[in-house]
Amino acid sequence: MNAVALMLFPLLGSFFNFTDTQFEEMDTEISNSITKVKAHNFEDAEIFLNQLRQVLIQHRKTDNKVSHFRAKKIARKAFQVLPEQLQMPIRRVVQKARTSRFEKQQTI
């Protein structure tokens, strides 16, 4: 396994707090991998690696904080105990926020 795979093999419910050096190493590994898959015309692999890079950028910006991770985990548990008819409006709001955040990242 390469370094990125080893760093990103999480246990469910675990929190990983990466250092700036680790983020830089992962970005370098992803860049090297993209170069290799482009050379072999593996377009799907290139797309997935770019998505992985975006997830890491997002994690670095927000989710790399223990308090933020815990708050999201508590919110998910609270959401799961709600009846389905109360979950639907929340799902729409969350999906809208995710979509707008994704669109903003695409324009950068």
DSSP assignments along 6-67, one per residue: HHT-PPTT------HHHHHHHHHHHHHHHHHHHHTT-HHHHHHHHHHHHHHHHIIIIITSHH
At residue 59, the pLDDT reads 80
* pLDDT of amino acid 73: 87
Condensed to tens digits (0 to 9), the pLDDT of residues 1-41 reads 445 544 544 444 556 778 889 889 999 999 999 999 999 99
pTM: 0.54
